[in-house]
Structure 1
Amino acid sequence: MLCHVEPTTEPNAPAPQPAQVAYREYLPDAAVAHAALAAEIALAITYNGLNQAVMMVSPGNIEDFIRGFSLSNAIIASVDEIHDLRLTHFDQACQADVQISNRAFWALKEHRRQMAGTSGCGLCGVEALEQALPPLEILPPSTLPPAAHFDNIRQRIEQAQSLARSSGALHAALYFDATGEALLCREDIGRHNALDKLIGALHSDAVDARQGFVVVTSRCSLELIHKAVRARLGTLVSLSAPTALTVRWALKHRLNLIHVPHRNAPRIYSPVQEFSA
C-alpha cells in the first residue's frame, strides 16, 4: 500500500540531501555508525492515462527528467506536445501523469513495445507502481556470515570471474557456502541477468540459499532486493553501496544486507541489531 504525501512546494525541486542510514563495521565491539546513502524512488509515467514505464530514479528535477525522457525516446517531437504534467508524490514513489498531443499519443501507441527496457535501471518495462513496489514475503531471520568469510573477498571474486578476466564488462553473482568458499558464479552483461542465472543455478543444484551468502558485483538496487527476497536468500552482499531505499526494504523483509567497500571493513546495513564475530 503506497502512502500518499503532500507534494513538494517546488514541483521541479532539486534532489534532496543523501539519507543517513545506520550500519556497523565487521569489527569486534563495533558501534552503530551512520553513512550518507543516495536516495532513489520509483517513478511511474503515464501518457494520456496509458501506463508507459516505471523506473528507479534519483528524486529531484522530476519534471526535467520527464521532458527529457519524452524527447529523447521520441515520444514527443517537441516539448510543446506536453500539454500538462502532474506529479503525485508518495513516500517511496512518484506518479507522473502526462498529457500529450493526439499526434504524439497515436505515435506512442504504435511503437510502445519498442520502448520497454531501454534503460539499465531494470524496471523500465514495468507499467505500474504496484509492480515496482510489490508486496513481498517477510523472510525468517537468517544468521549473518562470520566476518572472516569476507577476508580478501574482492580478490576471490576476481578469481571466480573467468569470463570477465578475458572480456571485461561483465557483472557477476556468486554464491559462497557456509564455509566461505565460492561455490557458484554466474556472469552476464546485465546485473539482473547475472543474479537470475545464479538463482536458477541454486535451484538446479538444490542448494539451500539461506546458508552462506550471495554476492553481486553491481550496484545493489531495489529490484535486486526484490529478486533476493523472492528467491528466499538469507544474505545479499554488494560491492557497491546500497541506496537508502534498498536498506529500508532489506530491513523490512529481514534480508541480511552487507556492503563491502574497497578500503574499509564490510558494513552490515540489515540487520544492525546483531553481530557475528
Structure 2
Amino acid sequence: MPRPATRCSVPPATARAADGYAYTELAEPARTAAAALAEECALAISYNSLSQAVMMVTPQDLHDFVIGFSLSSGLIDSVDDIYDLQLHGDGVARHAEVQIASRAFWALKRQRRQLAGSSGCGLCGVEALEQALPALTALPGSPLPPAAHLLGLRERIADAQTLARHSGAVHAALFVDGSGAIALCREDIGRHNALDKLIGALPGAGTAPAAGFVVVTSRCSLELIHKAVRARIASLVCLSAPTALTVQWARAHRLNLIHLPHHSAPRVYSPAPAHS
C-alpha cells in the first residue's frame, strides 16, 4: 500500500533562531556560524473585499507599501481615494483590506475584466500590452538635482539601509530632500516593493515628490519608470545602468533619469544631452 504523501507545512515564525540561521562554510577547515537573513511574507491585498494581488514582501512598512502599490499601479489616482486600510495576520501570511472610493473601484473592476483572458505564464493579448506599456501623463519637467547632492551618496545610502546592514539581500528606495539630505528610506526584498513603500510614505511625511529626488539601489526597470511617473517624482537616480527602453520612456515623459556609477561622475540620460 503506498504511503500517504507527506504534507508540507510552513514553519512558524517563532522557529527562527534569535541569533540567525546556522550555516557551515564549504572549506577546510569547515567553520560553523550563524547569520541574520532577510525576512519575507506573503501579503494578500483586497480592495472593497475583492482580492487583487498576493505579493512577497519584507514585512516592514506594509502600510506604506499598500498605499504606494495602489498609487503606482494606477489603481487609485490619489491617496484620498483610500478610505480605510487594515492589516491582518502575522508571520508569513498577511492580508491588507483596503476600502477605496466607488469611482476607483469601478475602474479597478473594469481593468480586471479586460485582463480576464490573461494566461497563467504572464500577461498576454492587446489589453495586457496596454498594461505593460501604459499611456501615462508626462511630467511638467523639473531642473536636475544639484551635483553636490550626489556627492558621497552611495556611502550615505549604505548608512541609511538598516535592514541591509543587518541581513543583506534587500533593495532600497530613498528620498533626498531639497537640502540634499536623505529624508526617507524604505527597504524590501523586491525593488518594486521598495519604491512602492517609499511612494506610500511620502504623503504621510508631507513631502512633495518633486521637492527632491528619489534613489533606487537596484537596476532601473521600465516598471520603476512607470511608478515614478505615476507618483509625479521629478528625478530618479539609479545605482545600476538603465536599459535603452527606460531611457526612452524617461525622456518621453520628462522624468530626469540619472545613473550614479561606482567610480565616475553621475550620468544624466534624461533629459537628452543637447548633442544627442
What's the TM-score once normalised by structure 1's chain length?
0.54
1:152 aligns with 2:128: no
Distance 2:252 2:232 in 1: 14
User: How many residue pairs were aligned?
Assistant: 157
Alpha-carbon distance in structure 1 between the residues aligned to 2:156 and 2:263: 16
Specify the alignment match of 2:260 in structure 1.
260
Distance 1:131 1:147, change over 3 A: same
Aligned partner of residue 240 in structure 1, secondary structure: coil
Runs of 4+ in 1 over 6 A off after TM superposition: none
3-state SS in 2 of match to 1:247: helix
Q: In the TM superposition, what are the counterparts of 1:157-236 in structure 2 within 5 Å?
A: 157-236=157-236
1:141 aligns with 2:133: no
- 1:242-269 residue CA offsets vs partner (Å, 9 max, x unmatched): 0000000000000000000010000000
| CA shift for structure 1 position 238 | 0.1
Q: Deviations over 1:16-72 (max 9, x none)?
A: xxxxxxxxxxxxxxxxxxxxxxxxxxxxxxxxxxxxxxxxxxxxxxxxxxxxxxxxx
- Calculate percent identity across the aligned residue pairs: 68
> What is the deviation of 1:128?
1.2
Unaligned runs of 5+ in 1: 1-111, 117-122
- For residues 144 and 153 of structure 1, the distance between their equivalents in structure 2, rounded to whole angstroms, comes to 16
Residue identity matched to 1:188: D
Amino acid at match of 2:221: S
Provide Cα deviations, 1:182-224, integer angstroms capped at 9, x if missing partner. Answer: 0000000000000000000002222110011000000001000
In structure 2, the residue matched to 1:45 is none
Matched letter for residue 157 of structure 1 = I
Structure of higher RCO (CA pairs closer than 8 Å, 6+ residues apart):
1
Structure 2 counterpart of 1:132? 132
Counterpart of 2:271 in structure 1 is: 271
Q: CA deviation at 1:127?
A: 6.9
Counterpart-to-counterpart distance in 1, 2:137 and 2:262: 32
Residues of 1 paired with 2:166 and 2:258: CA distance? Answer: 28
Letter of the 1:252 counterpart = A
Tell me the secondary structure at the aligned position of residue 219 of structure 1: coil
Any stretches of 5+ residues in structure 2 without a counterpart? 1-118
Q: After superposition, what is the alpha-carbon deviation per residue over 1:219-246, rounded to whole angstroms, capped at 9, x for unaligned?
A: 0010000000000000000000000000
Aligned to 2:246: 246
- Per-residue deviation, residues 79-128 of structure 1 (Å, max 9, x unmatched): xxxxxxxxxxxxxxxxxxxxxxxxxxxxxxxxx65x55xxxxxx89x971
Distance 1:189 1:203 in 2: 23
**AA paired with 1:180?**
G
Secondary structure class of the residue paired with 1:210: helix
| CA distance in structure 2 between the aligned counterparts of 1:215 and 1:146, rounded to whole angstroms | 14
Q: Distance in 1 between matches of 2:237 and 2:149?
A: 12
Measured in 1, the distance between the counterparts of 2:127 and 2:194 equals 23
Q: Could you tell which deviates more after superposition, 203-212 or 171-180?
A: 203-212
Deviation at 1:273, TM superposition (A): 4.3
For 1:161 and 1:235, the matched residues in 2 are separated by 21
Please state whether the residue corresponding to 1:143 is helix, strand or coil.
coil
TM-score (norm 2): 0.54
Root-mean-square deviation (CA, aligned residues, Å) is 2.2
Q: Which residue of the partner structure matches residue 89 of structure 1? A: none
C-alpha distance in structure 1 between counterparts of 2:202 and 2:127, whole Å = 29
**2:210 & 2:232 partners in 1: Cα distance?**
7
Matched residue of 1:187: which SS? strand
Shift of 1:129: 0.8
CA distance in 1, matches of 2:127, 2:213: 32
